C-alpha cells in the first residue's frame, strides 16, 4: 500500500526547490520539462539539466503527470500559495524508479511509484527523497496511479472527517464530471453506499457521472438546480453537498426552493437544497467566483459548513492526511474505486491541456504523457 509523508499539492514547493538546488548539481545530461517562465503566460517546453543523485535520494522516470486545476491557478497567480517563476508545475505523477542512492530503504530500480513531487512533475525525470513516494503494484495501470491521489484523497477526507457519511444518505456533488467531482461520486456511491445526485454542465457529463454511480443527475446548464433538488428529494434536500464550483451554483445550493410553514410561531421559512442539519463542503471554486454565505441561512436550517483543503492537512493534521492516502490507496489496489482518465496530452501539447480544462471540456483526470515526443 502506498504511504506518503509528503507536502501535498504545492504547499512546500518553494522550500523544497531551494534545498534541492543547493544540494545537487547537474552531471551533464538534460531532460525535457514544461516551465512556467512568467505568471499568466503559456508554459514553455525546455531542456533542463539533470540533477546528480545524492545519498538518501532516488531518481525517477516520470511517465504520467496529472494536471489539476490547482496547477493552472498557480500558473495564473490565483492560487492560495504563490509560486515565483521559473518553476516546473505539476504535483501528482506516476513513474518508475531508475536509480537508488545509498541510504534509501524500501525502493528498488524498476519499482512503479506514485506520489506528489515538490519539484514539479511536468518533466521527464526527477530526483527526490523517498518520503514523497509510494510503491504501487506493477499490475496497476500507471495512468490510474497518476490520476487518483489528490482527487480521491480530497473526497475521502471530506466524507470521513468533514461529514462522516452514513449508508443511505443523500449526497449532492457539483461539477460531478470533473476529477474531484467524479471521485466524490465514486466514493459516496460505491464505497459509502449513499444516494448520489450529480450536478453537471451538460448531458454528456451527466451520463459520465451516472455511469460512475449517481442515481440522479441535474444538468445545471439548462435546469434549475434548486427546483430539480426539490423534485428529486421530495423537498428534503441533501444530507451533504460536495461543492466544487462556487459562484452562482454555490449560492443555489443554499438558496430558496419554496416557502413553507415550519412552525406555527413562524409564518414562513426558507427551504434549501440542503437538508435540515445537513453539511455543505466547499471543495474549490472552479468558477473563479468565491461566494459569501449569508449567516441567517446557516442558522435557519442548522447547516454545517466545513471547508476541505486536503493539502493543508499534511502539516496541520498529518494523521487525517495519512488516513486519506492509505484509505484511497487500499481501495484502488483492491479495485473498489475506478478513477476515470479522461484525456492524455503529450508534453509538447501541455498548453492545449490547460485550455482543454479551462474550456470545461474535460471529464475525469487529464494527464500529461511526459515521455511522449
**Residues 207-231: pLDDT tens digits?**
999 999 999 999 988 988 888 988 9
Q: What is the CATH number of the domain that holds 87?
A: 3.90.180.10
Residue 188 lies inside a defined structural domain of this protein: yes
**Torsion, Cα of 25, 31, 36, 37 (10° steps):** 70
Residue 361 falls within a domain, yes or no?
Answer: yes
pLDDT of 183 reads 96
> Which burial class, exposed, middle or buried, applies to 136 when counting CB atoms under 10 A from its CB (0-12, 13-18, 19+)?
buried
Kindly state whether residue 167 falls inside one of the protein's structural domains: yes
Asked if 188 and 278 sit in the same domain, the reply is yes
- Res 176: pLDDT: 93
Q: How many domains does the chain have?
A: 2
Residue 25 confidence (pLDDT):
46
Residue-level pLDDT, tens digit, the chain, 373 residues: 454 433 334 333 433 343 343 334 445 689 999 999 999 999 999 999 999 999 999 999 999 999 998 899 889 988 777 789 999 999 999 999 999 999 999 999 999 999 999 889 999 999 999 988 999 999 999 999 999 999 999 999 999 988 888 999 999 998 899 999 999 999 999 999 999 999 998 999 999 999 999 999 999 889 888 889 889 999 888 888 888 764 454 444 444 332 223 223 222 222 346 666 667 777 765 544 555 556 656 656 667 776 677 766 667 778 888 899 999 999 999 999 999 999 999 999 999 999 999 888 889 999 999 998 6
Same domain, 266 and 194: yes
Question: In this structure, is residue 253 part of a structural domain?
Answer: yes
The pLDDT tens digits of the residues spanning 290-322 come to: 555 566 566 566 677 766 777 666 677 788 888
Give how far Cα 127 sits from Cα of 68, 95, 117, 138, 365, Å.
22, 12, 9, 21, 25
Please report, for residues 33, 149, 181, 365, the alpha-carbon distance to residue 96 in angstroms, rounded to integers and kept in the order given.
17, 17, 28, 20
- One domain, residues 226 and 112: no
- 143 shares a domain with 121: yes
48 and 87 housed in the same domain? yes
Handedness of CA 188, 252, 278, 285 (dihedral sign): positive
Last residue of a domain, one of 311, 326, 359: 311
DSSP E strand boundaries for 12-71:
26-35, 44-51, 58-67
Q: Give the Cα separation of 275 and 295 in Å (integer).
A: 16
Angstrom distance (rounded) from CA 110 to CA 366: 25
Residues 52 and 188 in one domain: no
Bond into 122 cis (ω within 30):
no
| CATH code: domain of residue 178 | 3.40.50.720
Q: Is 130 contained in some domain?
A: yes
298 shares a domain with 155? yes
User: What pTM does this model have?
Assistant: 0.81
344 and 274 in a common domain: no
Question: Which domain does 218 fall in, by range?
Answer: 150-311
Burial zone of 361 (CB within 10 Å; 0-12 exposed, 13-18 middle, 19+ buried): middle
Same domain, 108 and 166: no
Q: How far apart are the first and last CA of the chain?
A: 32
- Distance CA(81)–CA(212), nearest Å, equals 32
Amino acid at each position: 500500500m502506498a504511504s506518503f509523508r509528503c507536502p501535498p499539492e504545492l504547499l512546500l514547493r518553494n522550500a523544497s526547490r531551494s534545498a534541492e538546488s543547493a544540494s545537487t548539481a547537474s552531471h551533464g545530461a538534460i531532460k525535457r520539462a514544461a516551465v512556467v517562465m512568467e505568471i499568466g503566460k503559456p508554459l514553455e517546453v525546455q531542456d533542463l539539466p539533470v540533477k546528480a543523485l545524492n545519498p538518501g535520494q532516488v531518481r525517477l522516470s516520470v511517465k504520467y503527470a496529472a494536471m489539476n486545476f490547482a496547477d493552472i491557478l498557480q500558473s495564473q497567480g490565483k492560487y492560495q500559495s504563490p509560486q515565483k517563476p521559473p518553476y516546473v508545475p505539476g504535483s501528482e505523477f506516476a513513474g518508475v524508479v531508475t536509480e537508488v542512492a545509498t541510504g534509501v530503504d524500501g525502493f528498488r530500480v524498476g519499482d512503479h511509484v506514485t506520489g506528489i513531487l515538490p519539484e514539479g512533475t511536468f518533466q521527464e525525470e526527477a530526483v527526490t527523497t523517498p518520503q514523497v513516494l509510494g510503491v504501487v503494484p506493477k499490475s496497476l495501470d500507471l495512468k490510474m496511479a497518476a490520476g487518483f491521489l489528490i482527487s480521491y484523497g480530497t473526497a475521502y477526507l471530506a466524507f470521513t472527517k468533514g461529514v462522516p457519511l452514513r449508508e443511505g444518505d443523500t449526497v449532492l456533488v457539483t461539477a460531478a464530471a470533473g476529477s474531484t467531482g467524479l471521485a466524490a461520486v465514486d466514493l459516496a456511491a460505491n464505497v459509502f453506499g449513499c444516494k448520489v445526485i450529480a450536478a453537471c454542465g451538460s448531458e454528456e457529463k451527466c451520463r459520465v457521472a451516472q455511469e460512475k454511480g449517481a442515481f440522479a443527475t441535474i444538468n445545471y446548464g439548462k435546469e434549475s438546480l434548486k427546483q430539480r433538488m426539490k423534485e428529486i428529494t421530495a423537498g428534503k434536500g441533501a444530507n451533504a453537498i460536495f461543492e466544487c464550483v462556487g459562484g452562482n451554483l454555490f449560492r443555489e445550493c443554499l438558496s430558496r426552493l419554496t416557502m413553507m410553514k415550519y412552525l406555527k410561531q413562524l409564518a414562513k421559512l426558507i427551504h434549501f437544497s440542503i437538508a435540515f442539519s445537513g453539511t455543505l463542503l466547499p471543495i474549490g471554486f472552479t468558477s473563479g467566483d468565491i461566494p459569501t454565505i449569508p449567516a441567517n441561512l446557516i442558522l435557519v436550517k442548522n447547516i454545517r459548513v466545513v471547508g476541505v483543503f486536503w493539502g493543508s492537512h499534511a502539516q496541520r493534521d498529518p494523521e487525517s492526511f495519512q488516513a486519506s492516502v492509505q484509505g484511497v490507496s487500499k481501495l484502488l489496489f483492491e479495485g473498489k474505486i475506478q478513477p476515470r482518465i479522461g484525456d492524455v496530452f503529450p508534453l509538447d501539447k501541455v498548453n492545449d491541456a490547460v485550455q482543454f480544462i479551462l474550456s470545461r471540456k474535460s471529464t475525469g483526470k487529464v494527464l500529461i504523457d511526459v515521455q511522449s515526443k
